Amino acid sequence: MTLQSGKVVTTPASASSSTTTTTNAKRRRRQRRKNSQRTRRTGHIVPISDPVEVAKASEALEKYLRERRCIPEDANDLQRRATLDALEKILCQWSSSLHSIRPISENRWQRPRVTLVTFGSYRLRVHRPDSDLDVLALCPPTCTRADFFTSLVKFLREDVAIKDLHPIPSAFTPVIKFRLNGIQVDMLFGRVAESSKLLQFQQKRPSPLLSTISMDQDRPEYSIDDSDLLGMDEAGVRSLNGARVTQLILEMVPNKNNFRILASGKVCLVSLVPLLF
């Protein structure tokens, strides 16, 4: 309703609503422009939602993902941890058998052993209950790729816990595939040229051959850097790349829990795509 030349003119409700909508749209555009300028100026993304609303949405998403079994339960994580410990013990026994074949002058307790480095969805904590377990067997200089695909394969065949063993040495990234404790494992080979860093890491944790590691403790992971690539061939570098990229992602993510929830949601969505067509 407006006053024109002493007369009261009634504005239609539709025109008033349209004016309000246009005003709101302009206000939103100005706010987006201001946020964009602030982002370019500071290099930080400006939050577009209230933190309380974000927390509620995150909780709702996590609950939904757990109901869809996109986030594994504790029992599944314990099974994977037990599988890793069992596999690391097998690898230590194998590397010890190589030492008996090729005697070296080092003290047996000062010899570096094979260390498992996890990567992929398990290391990022976004794996599904039926996901593969990706691991890198980082070996000391006394182990070779030829040993990995001959004597280790024979060692694995003799273990009753190992099922569906498929070594693929001719792959672009050579891999041994098998099942252990019902979990599919893809194991790559890597060998360091200089073992001091590997030995230093191993001395900070108990040997898998001497003790049972508590499941309540976080599993320590070997940190790969450029020095580990010295003396490696192209296949060895490719084998280490998966663990290096995973490690780099974890170093760059500021909130790992939020990243885990969002990445799990994306994996869940991708798994549903075939059902939509």
Tens digit of pLDDT at every position of the chain (277 positions): 544 455 544 555 555 556 666 777 777 777 777 666 554 444 455 555 567 777 777 788 778 777 777 776 666 678 888 899 899 999 988 988 876 555 554 555 557 788 999 999 889 888 877 889 999 999 988 888 999 999 999 999 999 999 999 999 999 999 999 999 889 999 999 998 888 888 888 887 766 666 565 555 678 889 998 888 888 889 999 999 999 999 999 898 888 887 887 777 776 766 665 544 4
How high is the pLDDT of residue 240? 93
Distance between CA atoms of residues 83 and 131, nearest Å: 14
DSSP β-bridge partners for residue 191: 139
Say which amino acid occupies 73: E
Report CA dihedral (229, 234, 236, 242) to the nearest 10 degrees. Answer: 90
Distance between CA atoms of residues 228 and 171, nearest Å: 22
How high is the pLDDT of residue 195? 82
Cα torsion angle, 259, 265, 268, 273, sign: negative
Domain boundaries, the chain: 74-276
- The predicted model scores a pTM of 0.71
When the candidates are 3.40.710.10, 3.40.720.10, 3.30.460.10, 3.90.1150.10, the CATH number that belongs to 74-276 is 3.30.460.10
Q: How many CB atoms lie within 10 A of CB 139?
A: 26
How high is the pLDDT of residue 271? 64
How high is the pLDDT of residue 184? 94
**Which residues touch 229 (CB under 8 Å, ≥6 apart)?**
236, 237, 240
How many residues appear in the chain? Answer: 277
How high is the pLDDT of residue 41? 46
Backbone angles phi, psi at 130, to 5 degrees: -105, 15
**Which residues touch 104 (CB under 8 Å, ≥6 apart)?**
111, 142
